Amino acid sequence: MEPRVTVLGADTLAATLDDAADALKDMEATGEAGALIASASRSVTPVLTGRLAASISSDDSANVSTVTANAGVYAGVQHWGWAGHNIAASLFLLRTAYDKESVWVDYFTREAEDILSHVRGI
């Protein structure tokens, strides 16, 4: 006779893991992180007219948040620089993302912990 093992709560575990997987695919932290970086970037953006800072926005979809500055070619030149015109890179979006990393990582950590706290076996 072969030994038998009965797993109590397997159906509950599978269901709650499926729910957690779905929730992790669409975390609110994604939008919160993008909004934080966009907002904080506006205050460190090079300013001549204010158009560049005003053009910064975030868009989140499919668990990805994209932060952009949409002031024509001016945005790219100010962010990445243009050596041929003696314009130094300011990297205002990247620097803000790095400077605020502990904050937006905490958004994801707290939300993931909350989602995973609902996984149950019994």
Is 102 contained in some domain? Answer: yes
pLDDT of residue 8: 87
Q: Is 65 domain-assigned?
A: yes
What pLDDT shows up at residue 61?
81
The answer to whether position 83 is within a domain reads: yes
As for how many domains the chain has, the answer is: 1
Name the nearest CA neighbour of 104 among 49, 73, 60, 48: 60
Percent with pLDDT over 90 in the chain: 80
Residue-level pLDDT at 84: 95
Note the pLDDT of residue 48.
86
Q: 3 phi and psi, to 5 degrees?
A: -70, 150
pLDDT per residue as tens digits for the range 62-110: 789 999 999 888 899 999 999 999 999 999 999 999 999 999 999 999 9
Quote the tokens at residue 96: 């803000």
Question: What is the predicted pLDDT for the residue at 76?
Answer: 92
* pLDDT tens per residue, range 16-56: 999 999 999 989 999 999 999 999 999 999 988 899 999 99
Residue 111 maps to a domain: yes
Residue 121 lies in a domain: no
- 67 part of a folded domain: yes
For residue 65, what are the domain limits?
A: 10-116
Residue 85 in any domain: the answer is yes
40, part of any domain: yes
Asked if residue 58 has pLDDT above 90, the reply is yes
pLDDT reading at 122 higher than 90: no
